[in-house]
Structure 1
Amino acid sequence: MLKLISLFFGISSLGLAQNTTLTITVTGIKNNSGKLTAEVYNSKGKFLKSALKTTSSTIKSNTAIVVFNDLPKSEYTVMVYHDENNNGKLDKNFIGMPKEAVACSNNAKGFMGPPKYEDAKFSLVADSKITIKMNDKL
């Protein structure tokens, strides 16, 4: 009986632990220099502060594709930036505004600052593909 209960809970937990893949296509990048960096956030408090995962990709024909594997089903936001000088960071001016092109999921745009978390969030419940159009600044 104990083995049967263990088997049941083992099978049940497999269904809960299914992770997803998020594929992001970024269009409208102004040139092919440097790389495209994408950051995934999994909470409002960490949005644009502390990414859950980060990855980069080469740019070809003003488009880049990045893939995040093993993301638990949840709510997320994505911020992408064109690391044009390939220095591994988003360059900002003296007041903290991005000097390199950036964009967010849902093509969310901010007014006098970054977009709101609520405008950029989306639910990831299965393998998904999203497209983000690059802007000059947040």
Structure 2
Amino acid sequence: MKRSLLMRNIAFGLLFTLIGFSYSFRIPSKKGNHSLSVNVESLRNSEGHVMFVLYNTQDALPDKELNKYFKKNRGAITEGSSTATFHQLVPGEYAVSIFHDENNDGEIEKGLFLPKEGLGFSNFQSISPTNKPSFDKASFKLTEDTTIQVKMIYFK
């Protein structure tokens, strides 16, 4: 009887030790604690708003229909500028696209060949047939709270 009681106490002791040990080596949460602020200046007017779109996968850009994004934010325009901040990001590779939604319809207004509303991408100063946006070209590493500037590009 004493032996089985001793074995049970040892088993419970080991169990509680293992539980306590496992809590001390917890796997880090996938939830991030970094933020990314995106600024844009030199908007051609204060109509509408600016849509800020964040991507985190290789196949995300180009995204003409805006359905491959990771997170999306809407920014008000004040004196030709707008800002949006994305919160709770894990360290990793991201890309940003923006567009000036002048008519507030949530879509990029298109002309015959080129967009009628302004757009921009992280790491891009201009867009041309030889300089098309892609995730590889627009991406950057996020390892801490970061602020970036994106240039708005108008074709008309």
Name the TM tier (shorter chain).
Answer: 0.7 to 0.9
- Hey, what's the Cα distance between the residues in 2 that align with 1:48 and 1:25? 21
Q: TM-score, normalised by structure 1?
A: 0.86
Higher strand share: 1
| Shift of residue 75, structure 1, vs aligned partner | 0.2
1:5 aligns with 2:9: no
| Shift of residue 116, structure 1, vs aligned partner | 3.1
Change (3 A) 1:111 1:86: same
- Residue 7 of structure 2 is matched in structure 1 by none
1:36 aligns with 2:50: yes
Asked if the contact 1:110/1:116 (under 8 Å) is kept, the reply is no
Q: Which amino acid aligns with 1:41?
A: Y
Q: Deviations over 1:62-103 (max 9, x none)?
A: 0001011112211011000000011111112345x3221001
- Residue 74 of structure 1 is matched in structure 2 by 92
Q: TM-score, normalised by structure 2?
A: 0.77
CA RMSD of aligned residues (A): 1.8
Structure 1 segments of 4 or more deviating over 4 A? none
- Gapped regions of structure 1 (runs ≥ 5): none
Asked if the contact 1:38/1:54 (under 8 Å) is kept, the reply is yes
Matches within 5 A, 1:80-99: 80-95=98-113, 97-99=114-116
Asked if the contact 2:62/2:133 (under 8 Å) is kept, the reply is no
Q: Deviations over 1:114-135 (max 9, x none)?
A: 3232221100111111111211
Asked if the contact 2:40/2:81 (under 8 Å) is kept, the reply is yes
Aligned length: 134
Asked if the contact 2:62/2:134 (under 8 Å) is kept, the reply is no
Q: Which amino acid aligns with 1:85?
A: N
Whose Rg is larger?
Answer: 2
Report percent identity of matched pairs: 28
